[in-house]
Structure 1
Amino acid sequence: MPRPIYSLFMRFGSSTQSLRPRVFRSMSTTLPKATGTTNQHFSLDADGKEVVDLSFQSEGIGLPAEKGYGWAQLEFGEKIGRDQRYTITRKLGWGKNSSTWLAWNEILNKYVAVKLLTGHATDLHERKMAWEEEALKRLTFPSESDNCVHILEYFTMKGRGSAGSHLCFAMPLYGGDVGSLIQSRTSPSPLPLVKRILLHLLRGIAFAHERGIVHTDLKFDNVLFTTPATTRDIEKWIKEDPPRRNPPELSSDGVIRSAVSQPMKLPSEEEALRATYVLADFGCALPSGRHAHCNITPVLLRAPEVLLGGEWDTPADIWSFGCLAYELVTNEVLFQYRTYDDFSLTATENLLYQMMFHACEEFEPDQLRVCPLAGEYFNNNCELKKEPTLGRWPVHELIAEHKLLSDEECLAAGAFIQRCLRLNPENRATAKDLLQDEWLRGVD
């Protein structure tokens, strides 16, 4: 079977590049031609009518909440929140449903992060169609965890233009996310750092599960780390690298200038080894319980019961965690989502095939019987209909191929990850179980 190929709440709140709005054509009859903007382009539709195309350098501020947008428009130095206690200093990052800003808290006399949901996301909360607010409350009250994000307070503010209102969460200031940390490296992370990140992430998952929360979107972009930066360090950084804005762009609210994302500086390896790692971005979280008929997590981290349309709960997070653990150890993704021409497998069939290969087991009749999509891929004998040759390729052997760890460490790491990758969710280890695993013993 072909070997996997390596790929990629917040960049302080969010991953950014893949979410950047590129085209907004429906404003064609309402937008005048504007000189001096960098994003306005004109084309002709099928009827020969001139159409406006807009591409944005950052989040598309000035796009209406009612169309699924509504990012916050903030000024540097602007005061927001109860008693106007938060002074906006710079933008740290943005994502599909929010943007996150560095702010000075006048009451605590310290820098914090304020995450502002888009008008669209805020409307979903107001209509009880989103659950992040409830998840963050559960993670904060009556107590909090060092390894789970929590809120200092929350409030709602009126946005500018067509953005609607913004539900805002004030949070401790973190240093950035593990995704950025990994991408900054040219080689796999050292094993002590790998184990520290995994242990802290596992503690965060266990805490969330204890509070009745399924994260559903575990990925490195959603794991933050603490910063050693003092107030003096941050002020020096702001002076050396002042907050900036992008060139003028046209939107449905007129000409706007979005703030440039300026995340915190990445830590040195020594700082990374001392940092605390924190599970964050509960924007996709759901209450623990049996869920079905909805996809969660990126496809390469998606548990088999989710892929097959079955019911899922907290074990789906554990499957994703196991995939991330392998990637952190080897700097390579465990699964690939693409066709396998040797056996004429579709991308989904190939993913199921790889799951059996690396889990070193086959799907059980009782599991497939309750998965609505199982009949598309499996016959009555619980075999893939296209009958590809099935072998065994345990995780410890995959790790050993990279020649990064000793034989003993390969076996221990592989066994740890294998506990997360049981095909039947009922057989997977829990986060609490994994915290007692011998492989993590002695890690801070």
Structure 2
Amino acid sequence: MEAKSEHRKHFSGESSQSSNNQLLYPNFLDQASEQEESAEYRKGGYHPVHIGDQYHGRYYVIRKLGFGSYSTVWLCWDQKDKHFVALKILKSASIYTNIAYEEIKILRIINGADPRDPNRYRTVRLLNDFKITGVNGQHIGLVFEVTGCNLSKLLLQSNGRGLPLANVRTIVKQVLEGLEYLHSKCKIVHGDLKPENLLICVKEDYNTKLASEVAKIYRFGIKLPASMVANAPLRRMSSLKIKRANKRRISSFKWQLKLIMDTIEDNKKAAPSVMNTSNSPSPSTSWSSDEKPELNPAFVNSEMEVKIADLGLACRIGGPLYETIQTRPYRSLEVLLGAEYDTSADIWSTACLTFELATGHDLFALECGETYPDENHLAQIIELLGDIPKKIVQSGTKSHLLFNKQNKLCHIEQLHPSSLEDKLRKKYDWSVRDAQEFAAFLLPMLQFDVNKRATASECLKHQWLKLNKSL
């Protein structure tokens, strides 16, 4: 992406779907997923991947894990290092290639900023990157450690009630640890924090289970489900040629898969600890293939590991910045006003996603198609947090479009103030104590003045995050 001017091209999480992909589903989330659009397998679009393909001389494709608005993701076996990886292949159009290059720069900074800091593992790790030349153009391939489903999927399981507060504390503490590293050690603004960009960790044995499912399907001569393969249009070949080609491919794949499974068994016997490659600070709490359904963290207290993902909108402090960042419900006040932003914008987003994890609803409930979306967003902020000081309002380049000379919104007059504590008690039926403690944690993260807003380090010291120890 071109970044010669002070601001990069406008590219927010709202106008372009997040690049995070619907990855693995731990047992409690196993379900059929939607398919990528077949029509997007064209010049500038997706690369047609086939089960059994090999990339970069080492990554052997086993099955599809999911897809995003500009990429597909595949479970692969790394034939060099002998472990599973997730291969993300982006569409070939230049806009996606440029985004990938920017993300690669950011991920390399994260990998190398402080190798001794365990908090660097709170962000997904880029293991490799390379180019793929295919029928639809040149694509970028990004190799990551394999992760699980995103927290948005987990929230869906809660049926709009949110997660247990103990689980919310566990998740938010890890997010803040990741942000502390990004902000302090890397000077990086993530720019798009939301549940979709927080991924649950899984253990290597879960990846083995995914590969085993493919082996079982082939063993019984059953066609692979659509969710495991590319939704690419069929090649124009005679039915006989297709059958012969498929037979050869299946035969080769079965043989390769057996070698992989044999290698896994040998590794288990030689050194059981080798099988866990999540590199999480506490690998023992990552999701395993034998987790029982009743341990669904959408309903019961459960130790879990999450990682921050999707750094497509990330930028470095002191470098070129995007004009607009953050998906709408998580967008900070300064970004709405068109004012300068820094790492504190991520803290505002963290407050919003914390509220969503705890209640199942957005902190600021915004609808598509509104006549004055920014004003409506600001109106809800004012209702919850009070009037925005004129000095802060006037710091933004968009302020004259949103506020009049009396420091009132241009088009919205009727406001209905309600404190965060009252909102939690009246709308979500929280106890007085829970509401007070939760509000005390969130409000410093929602300070209008970015210089007074709590930092990730300060948030980590808050008493609310320590309540799990007393349970």
Q: TM-score, normalised by structure 1?
A: 0.75
Mapped partners of 1:415, 1:319: distance in 2? 14
Q: 2:108 aligns with which of 119, 125, 137?
A: 137
Give runs of aligned pairs for residues 277-288 of structure 1, distance below 5 A.
277-288=306-317
Contact 2:191–2:326 at 8 Å: present in 1 too? yes
Q: Which residue of the partner structure matches residue 233 of structure 1?
A: 209
Contact 2:47–2:135 at 8 Å: present in 1 too? no
Q: Which residue of the partner structure matches residue 199 of structure 1?
A: 173
SS of the residue corresponding to residue 121 of structure 2 reads coil
Offset at 1:329? 0.8
Give runs of aligned pairs for residues 100-179 of structure 1, distance below 5 A.
100-120=73-93, 124-125=97-98, 131-141=102-112, 142-143=114-115, 145-158=120-133, 160-162=134-136, 164-179=137-152
Letter of the 2:342 partner, please give it. D
Give runs of aligned pairs for residues 315-326 of structure 1, distance below 5 A.
315-326=344-355
Q: TM-score, normalised by structure 2?
A: 0.71
Offset at 1:288? 2.2
SS of the residue corresponding to residue 168 of structure 1 reads strand
Distance 1:218 1:368, change over 3 A: same
Q: Which residue of the partner structure matches residue 72 of structure 1?
A: 47
Q: Does 1:415 align with 2:440?
A: yes
Distance 1:184 1:239, change over 3 A: farther
Q: 1:63 aligns with which of 18, 32, 42?
A: 42
Q: 1:348 aligns with which of 364, 374, 385?
A: 374
Mapped partners of 2:290, 2:95: distance in 1? 31
Q: Which residue of the partner structure matches residue 154 of structure 2?
A: 181
Contact 1:181–1:266 at 8 Å: present in 2 too? no
SS of the residue corresponding to residue 72 of structure 2 reads strand
Mapped partners of 1:271, 1:227: distance in 2? 14
Distance 1:247 1:92, change over 3 A: closer
Q: 2:23 aligns with which of 2, 12, 23?
A: 12
Farther-moved stretch of structure 1 (195-204 vs 288-297): 288-297
Mapped partners of 2:96, 2:212: distance in 1? 38
Q: 1:425 aligns with which of 450, 455, 458?
A: 450
Letter of the 2:381 partner, please give it. M
SS of the residue corresponding to residue 170 of structure 1 reads strand
Distance 1:265 1:372, change over 3 A: farther
Offset at 1:390? 4.4
Mapped partners of 1:59, 1:150: distance in 2? 30
Mapped partners of 1:292, 1:309: distance in 2? 12
Q: 2:70 aligns with which of 65, 87, 97?
A: 97
Aligned residues: 374
CA RMSD, 1 decimal: 3.3
SS of the residue corresponding to residue 51 of structure 2 reads coil
Gaps of 5+ in 2: 1-19, 25-33, 219-223, 243-287
Offset at 1:121? 5.2
Distance 1:122 1:365, change over 3 A: closer
Distance 1:334 1:269, change over 3 A: farther
Letter of the 2:181 partner, please give it. F
Distance 1:130 1:374, change over 3 A: farther
Mapped partners of 1:275, 1:78: distance in 2? 33
Q: Which residue of the partner structure matches residue 323 of structure 2?
A: 294
Distance 1:87 1:130, change over 3 A: closer
Give runs of aligned pairs for residues 21-36 of structure 1, distance below 5 A.
none
Farther-moved stretch of structure 1 (290-299 vs 404-413): 290-299
Gaps of 5+ in 1: 1-8, 14-19, 21-55, 258-263
Contact 1:322–1:421 at 8 Å: present in 2 too? yes
Q: Which residue of the partner structure matches residue 435 of structure 1?
A: 460
Q: 1:329 aligns with which of 334, 358, 374?
A: 358
